[in-house]
Structure 1
Amino acid sequence: MRTLLTSAQMRSADQFTIVNKPIASLDLMEKAAKAFVQTFLRDEFDTNKSVAIICGKGNNGGDGLAIAHLLLANGYENLKIYIVNFSKKQSDDFAINLQRIEETRCKKTIVNQASDLKNLKADLIIDAILGSGLNKPLSGEFEALVQAINKLNKKVYAVDIPTGFFAEGKLAKDYNGIKAYKTICFQRPKINFFFPESAMATEKYEVVDIDLDEAFIQKQEADFYLVEENDIENILRPRKLFSHKGTYGHALIIAGNSNTMGAALLSSAACLRAGAGLITACIPQGGFTALNATLPEVMALPRDEYTRIGNPKKYQAIAIGPGLGTEAENEKLLESLIMANQAMIIDADALNILGERPDLIAKIAANSIITPHVKEFDRLFGEHDNWWDRVQTAAARARKQKIIIVLKNQYTFICLPAGKVLINPTGNPAMAQGGMGDVLTGIIAGFVAQRYSVTDAAILACYIHGKAGDYLAHEQFVVTASQVAARISKEIKVLIST
């Protein structure tokens, strides 16, 4: 897992590296500038374009000046620097890099007020005004300056973080900072880049290595961690000789209704391809033909208004909810399992039932996994007007109830009983199609059935689900849930063979 640090912790990592590498802070700034420029030149290789670099007088501005020096050396002759002079304070490294720029042919303008930018004309803008230490919204001349930049409607590259954006913490709906095309950030992504509100500040981001001390960073106590592919490779277990269907467990999928049998089929197919040895689908009698025709490997258990799961402990995994319906008989079935202290994977309509039964939410068994999307989550735990608070609530509830909450989004947050939040990086907008959650539920059930821990099952399922979608999205504008389900086993094979 890659440790994600707060802005204060990243400054500590800078200082630790400077002292223990050892390396001068100015040389570290130069490393950052080189890493930025290397990525920038890959994107913007036409050196005939004009570039405006807008620099504050702190270390972010010092980065901007170092970047200007390197762009000049790489053939960008139509380049101009704007120094934002809203404060007398300046960092030492900024002052040194400013002196270096004075010795070049680069044009320079002092910006004493936002209106001084009115004559700015450039194809590209590099934002190096304010760094990651900001903890309150922009105001005064800084706000006016940023609004003037945004009104230019130019392609903006932000140095480490867009000016006005918070690296972590609650993000306001009325964001008034830089709206960047791309942020090139140093060593680690900012935690808030994984929240949907970040789309207001940057369309995309890329992380560049500036050779900070990784051992120090990984040792830091953190609340957020980024799942990486090597984590998945380390968790996955190859199938062994002499194993049989019983080795890989029995999963029960309680899903589907008269009009939503597709959800049951998708979950069952995903569970099958994730590797469960036996699968039983608890579905309405009217769905048997569809199940037998589509998934002959999956057994059927008829579900009616009197259904109770006899001896649920014989199943290594029970998933409930996809396409289930919220009828009274399904509510009674869910309640009976919860009251029996049965750990489950709970999704979709089962979550909708819980949204109307807050008395049952607190009784969900430890080691259960619930997989809400944003609306389902807020129905369960109250309305939230921002994602930071929503994830904090999810982390607190996971810790309190000893369950795992998989809060689904572009980046899925896996909230663990220990209080940590793991961020899954795979998946893409092409997967914004119905049935994707049903597939994810099936994959989780498949791994739990194989006796992976519930934590490992959630990590594996989220990563592989998104990875399958990423593979398919290379050649398709949209990706369907059926296609993702069909791809799961192949992705597992690729990961386990690496």
Structure 2
Amino acid sequence: MLKLLTALQTRQADDYTIVNEPILSSELMERAAKAFIKVFLDRFPDRKKHILIFCGKGNNGGDGLVISRMLFDEGYHHVHTYIADFSEKQSEDYLLNLERLQQKDVSIFYINQAADLEFIESDLIIDALLGSGLNKALQGEWEKLVKKINKFSGFKISVDVPTGLPCEGELLSEAIIKSDLTIAFQRPKLNFLLPISSPYIKEWKVVNIGLDENFIQSTSSPYFWFWKADIQKYIKPRQAFEHKGLLGHALMVAGADETIGAALLCTEACHRSGAGLTTALIPEMGLRALNARVPEAMYFSRNNLDKIDWLKYEVIGIGPGLGVSEESSKLLNEVLANFKKPIVIDADAINLLAQNHQLMKLIPQKSVLTPHMKEFDRLFGTHDSWWERIETALKKSVELKVYIVLKNRYTMIFTPEGICYFNSSGSPAMASGGMGDVLTGMITSMIAQGYAVEKAVQLAVFSHGYAGEQLAHKMYVVPASNLIKQIPYILRELMVK
């Protein structure tokens, strides 16, 4: 898994690499620019494109000057470089690369104030004004320049991070370059993974610039990024003599008279994700639909709850379509009072917990809460920002000794050890009703099969997103029912051959 860094930690990794590789800072800048150029050449091979490059006088501007020189050497001869000359302060690497660029036949212009910059037609605009060191809102000429560039036509590409966007933490202002593509160095910035970046980054790509990975892994950070290769390390193949009795029994507690669909979705997802046995504790009126939709699933009547053998189940998933009626509340109370193994708690079960916080004390350790943003705020209080939610989730997962799955484009998994994992898979095409119900069924299934809870959650979250991602290649919208059908195929694909 990739450890994610703050802006300060990234600068420390830069410094460590420079000292211990060893390599000159200017040479590291060359390496970063080469990595940027490689992506650029693949995306924009037409050498006739008109390109504007906007540079500051710090190291991000130095990157821009190297990029300008390399583009010229690659045959892009319609490159115009603009330097924001708003202060006397300038870095040594900026000065070195300015001197190198001046030896080329490249147009260089200085902007003393934003008003001096006229509107220019261009195919491509490269933003290398200010990098990851930003710690305050842009003001004065910087703010005016950014707002003016945002009005320019042309595809905008930011170097490492859009100017004005902090790498982590709250937005400082709205004076931020609106990039179409951001090419980041070594790691995605934490804010790339949160909705606050949406107005400013349409697409991002990370390039390796050779920072010392041993140093990065040794840094103290609670944030990690996991992807396909991580999941493939522990997904378990079926063994020759395994049978349903060895692959776990899951109980899905879901649905109300008006919302049987949610119960069917989570039950079918649990079954298709590989649980040996799946039983649905749903309203009796949904039995016919259950038999038609998931004939492999068993049924337990809510009228016979006093006869249930809680010990026969490895895990319970509860909440999808459950409703918040008094009957639903009693059902949740019954589950929490009698079941001491992990419980996957979603949707209306979370809403019921929000109405009665005393029930939180009954949640078994290593259970899983799977809220979306609004459910999270109902449960833990109103938050003004995503960073406040992250702080709360880190605290509450440790305090309650549970896993919190905060659903988003890059879903976050918070652990009882105070770790936050960002999931790399998924697609906006998955933004449709029922997706959370499917994920609940998948997580429940993986726990039933004997995966450690943390691995079960990671496997379910990634494969859920990966299935949607694959379907999105051929579907504008991915309905939850379609995704369920893909689950067995996706799990088979993820197994290392």
Q: Could you say whether these structures have the same fold, taking a TM-score greater than 0.5 normalized by the shorter chain as the test?
A: yes
Cα shift at 1:358:
2.1
| Amino acid in structure 2 at the alignment position of 1:180 | S
What letter is aligned with 1:192? N
Amino acid in structure 1 at the alignment position of 2:207: V
1:253 aligns with 2:252: yes
Q: How far 1:215 moved relative to its partner?
A: 2.0
- Provide the rounded CA distance (Å) in 2 between the counterparts of 1:138 and 1:76: 31
1:210 correspondence with 2:209: yes
Distance across 1 between alignment mates of 2:230 and 2:220: 19
Q: In the alignment, what sits opposite 1:319?
A: 317
In 2: Cα distance, 1:391 partner to 1:223 partner: 11
User: For 1:203, what is the secondary structure of its paired residue?
Assistant: coil
Deviation at 1:119, TM superposition (A): 4.5
- Equivalent in the alignment of 2:149: 149
Quote the residue 1:89 is aligned against: 89
- 1:336 aligns with 334
- Structure 1 segments unaligned to the other structure (5+ residues): none
Q: Which residue of 1 aligns with 2:132?
A: 132
8 Å Cα contact 1:175-1:200 kept in structure 2: no
- Which segments of structure 1 move beyond 4 Å, counting only runs of 4 or more? none
| Distance in 2 between residues matched to 1:368 and 1:312, nearest whole Å | 16
DSSP-derived class of the 2:187 partner: coil
Superposed counterparts of 1:20-419, under 5 Å: 20-171=20-171, 174-304=173-303, 307-308=305-306, 310-340=308-338, 342=340, 343-419=342-418
Q: Kindly provide the CA deviation profile for residues 114-161 of structure 1, in whole angstroms up to 9, marking residues without a partner as x.
A: 112124442211110111011121111111111111122432100000
1:309 and 1:150, CA in 2 relative to 1: closer, same or farther beyond 3 A? farther
Secondary structure at 1:131's aligned position in 2? coil
Separation (CA, whole Å) in 1 of partners of 2:194 and 2:266: 27
CA contact (8 A) 2:122 2:153 kept: no
Give 1:216 deviation, angstroms.
1.8
Alignment of 1:466-485 (within 5 A): 466-485=465-484
**2:496, 2:224 → 1: CA distance?**
25
Aligned-partner SS, 2:87: coil
CA-CA distance at 1:339 after TM superposition: 3.3
The change in CA–CA distance for 1:362 and 1:150 in structure 2 (over 3 A counts) is farther
Gaps of 5+ in 2: none
What TM-score do the two structures reach when normalised by structure 2? Answer: 0.97
Aligned length: 496
Alignment of 1:427-442 (within 5 A): 427-442=426-441
- The SS at the match of 2:495 is helix
Contact 1:171/1:388, CA 8 A, preserved across alignment: no
> Cα–Cα, structure 1 residues 309 and 7, in superposed 2: closer, same or farther, change >3 Å?
farther
The equivalent of 1:422 in structure 2 is: 421
Q: 1-side partners of 2:129 and 2:53: how far apart? A: 9
Q: CA deviation at 1:192?
A: 0.7
Instruction: Kindly provide the CA deviation profile for residues 257-313 of structure 1, in whole angstroms up to 9, marking residues without a partner as x.
Output: 212111111111111111111111001111111111221111000124x74573323
Q: Which residue identity lines up with residue 284 of structure 2 in the other structure?
A: Q
Give the TM-score of the pair, scaled to structure 1.
Answer: 0.97
Contact 1:341–1:364 (CA under 8 A) maintained in structure 2: no
8 A Cα contact 1:308 1:336, kept in partner:
no
The corresponding residue for 1:17 is 17
1:404 is displaced (CA, Å) by 0.4
Using a 3 Å threshold, how does the CA distance of structure 1 residues 309 and 185 change in structure 2: closer, same or farther?
A: farther
In structure 1, C-alpha distance between the alignment counterparts of 2:68 and 2:205, rounded to whole Å: 19
Report if the CA contact (8 A) 2:248-2:275 is conserved.
yes
Which secondary structure does the structure 2 equivalent of 1:235 belong to?
Answer: coil
- C-alpha RMSD of matched pairs (Å): 1.4
Quote how far apart the aligned CAs of 1:380 are.
Answer: 0.6
Distance between the aligned counterparts of 1:308 and 1:481, measured in 2? 33
* Amino-acid identity (%): 48
Aligned equivalents of 1:119 and 1:250: distance in 2?
A: 66
CA distance in 2, matches of 1:329, 1:309: 18
In structure 2, the CA distance between the partners of 1:373 and 1:107, relative to structure 1 (3 Å rule), is same
String of CA shifts for 1:4-35, please: whole Å, max 9, x gaps. Answer: 01111111111111122121111110111111
Give CA-to-partner distance per residue, 1:381-432, whole Å, 9 cap, x none: 1111211111111111101110000000111000111111000111101111
3-state SS of paired residue (2:100): helix
Could you tell me whether the CA contact under 8 Å between 2:119 and 2:152 is conserved in 1? no
How far off its partner does 1:246 sit? 1.2
Return closer, same or farther for 1:57/1:365 CA change in 2, 3 Å cut-off. same
Deviation at residue 164 of structure 1 after TM alignment: 0.4
Deviations 1:426-466 (A, max 9, x none): 11011111111110000001011011111111100000001
Q: State the alpha-carbon separation in 2 of the partners of residues 73 and 308 from structure 1.
A: 78
Q: Is the 8 A contact 1:160 1:184 kept in 2?
A: yes
Aligned to 2:2: 2
Which amino acid in structure 1 is aligned with residue 124 of structure 2? L
Q: Find the residue that maps to 2:83 and give its secondary structure.
A: strand
